[in-house]
Structure 1
């Protein structure tokens, strides 16, 4: 008598190897509606393809919500995943949650955004950008176009996001030519020839609509502004909205009267800069962050030593090298 396989049995035979993995590692972004984090997700899934015993669980808030991210990490700890890689939106608040992960013996690492210095013992390592250098390189692009200084507006993500505060400090210290304390540093009041205008820095909470509206309003209210510097790509995520906001200032950007520089090098940002709607980008490597996180968590879970921190590098782009700057 022939054996007849049911549909259920056939499905069971066809389950991909990754679904039978020994390890389930969570990659937690700040928000899942963010094209930057989409690239990290893709890197995570690429690692899953290469590691037969690892499943990448990519999960985070639908939108940038600090409380929701904290709840997701709490749920992952309760669930008992084998490791967590998190990009903290609120570093101090996330540290409180990660104490439970330590108690449960769950390996933890950070990526993109780190914990505060006093809480770093709660994670094994950080993989991502040396965030201070994003701000420093953005400021260098501004200084190259305005060596005598001027007025500037800084735009940032969450007020409690350690990575954005480090970028603000890097930008401010580069422009000032002096140390300005702990992140995010103190607003510029003439140091190095630069003064931050009233109403800045603009806080966006990684919301693209808030970011582009903030830039629109500040440029309209300050027609003689020398530079606008954003520590995140949120300003340029929504291509049509950004183009409409920047188009009135295209001539001023072309002749050197005004400068707009933004962090990251997502495809729409590169094209905007090529079209003269921006003057510089400093790009991170999010795909590499998500990819490496899975390998790092596996090493930690298996008791292997890992470096701390692990930096993924930057690409510095200007109008002059925009066609070749991304490595």
Structure 2
């Protein structure tokens, strides 16, 4: 496990232990898909930072490793039965399964990062997160800036994830120039763009698998653009560097243009950009999602009106426009 994640988990455990002894303030539950995921830890950091201003606290709950609807459902049921929490926010793993657990809740429920499906949307008072289609469009615009007349683009995603499917749809709609471009249809010349037959890649939520697929893409497929809608290739920045270094000469010419969607911006990403092994990032501000999620939970227990959807802005990072403080 990455040292930063281990440190963050220790902080989470410390907060959870301390919460049992505090009498003041409200305690709110964040039910993540995976409590060891750095993005969800960043959501907790944002939630806790906002909560502490009011002597409130946020607790990160959910499966410890792999995302599992069954384990997340059990975490929700335990949180409800404990009666320790004034409200809960859930990043929904599988809508139909989580809906069954939430139906027992007598406390306010909102969602973050990943909402309920339309059929279960009424179980949540509000949703906080990125607009996934817009996220995909922002990724695609980095490709269009380099190749205004189109070209070949190899996409990477992970199957069976609604959020990621919306990002891919956003990419294709932006590149095609068609706001009604059909879901699931690859680009075959629309807007001047096409997807090679061996793409799109399914990373399987695995960094190792994603890097193997990128190696094949650069060595054999050689598209104009390699675009990943998730951060799998960059989970281990050193492994990413090792994988791409053999192709550095071409990458310095932006062949292909490497574009990746991420969560928190790590210092290593800036170094990869300086080495021309990475050309553009679109980042989700998970800390801000945490802050706004806390605000929604607090407003819900104070009977204040909530917006049905609260979208957070994306941050675009390039070599010419590095992240603040990098």
TM-score, length-scaled by structure 2: 0.84
Q: CA deviation at 1:48?
A: 3.2
For residues 1-327 of structure 1, the aligned pairs below 5 Å read: 19-21=22-24, 23-52=26-55, 54-67=56-69, 68-80=71-83, 81-89=85-93, 93-157=94-158, 159-180=159-180, 184-222=183-221, 224-264=222-262, 265-267=264-266, 268-322=268-322, 324=324
* Equivalent position SS for 1:19: coil
Displacement of 1:312:
1.8
Q: Give the equivalent residue in structure 2 for 1:3.
A: none
Report deviation, 1:50.
1.6
Task: For 2:162 and 2:22, locate their aligned partners in 1 and report how far apart those are by CA, in whole Å.
Answer: 34
Distance 1:277-1:19 versus aligned 2 partners, 3 A rule = farther
Alignment correspondent of 1:9:
none
Report the TM-score when normalising by structure 1: 0.83
Following TM superposition, by how much is the alpha carbon of 1:125 offset from its aligned partner in structure 2, in angstroms?
0.9
Give how far 1:285 is off: 0.8
Cα deviation, residue 72, structure 1: 2.5
Structure 2: distance between partners of 1:179 and 1:21: 50
Following TM superposition, by how much is the alpha carbon of 1:58 offset from its aligned partner in structure 2, in angstroms?
0.5
Q: Distance in 1 between matches of 2:91 and 2:129?
A: 10
For 1:159-209, what per-residue CA distance to the aligned partner results, in whole angstroms no more than 9, with x for missing partners? 232221111111010111113556x54211221122222343222343323
Distance 1:274 1:69 in 2: 40
For residues 199 and 21 of structure 1, the distance between their equivalents in structure 2, rounded to whole angstroms, comes to 57
Q: 1:272 to 1:86 in 2, by over 3 A?
A: farther
Cα deviation for residue 325 of structure 1 reads 9.7
Instruction: Return the offset for 1:287.
Output: 0.7
Per-residue deviation, 1:104: 2.7
Q: In the comparison of the two structures, how many residue pairs are matched?
A: 305
RMSD: 2.5
- CA distance change for structure 1 residues 33 and 97 in 2, over 3 Å: closer, same or farther? closer
- 1:307 is displaced (CA, Å) by 1.4
Show structure 1 runs of 5+ residues with no match.
1-14
Cα distance, 1:99 vs structure 2: 4.3
Contact 1:101 1:107 in 2 (8 A): no
Change (3 A) 1:270 1:112: farther
Q: Computing the radius of gyration over CA atoms, which structure comes out larger, 1 or 2? A: 1
* Cα distance, 1:323–1:290 mapped onto 2, change above 3 Å: closer
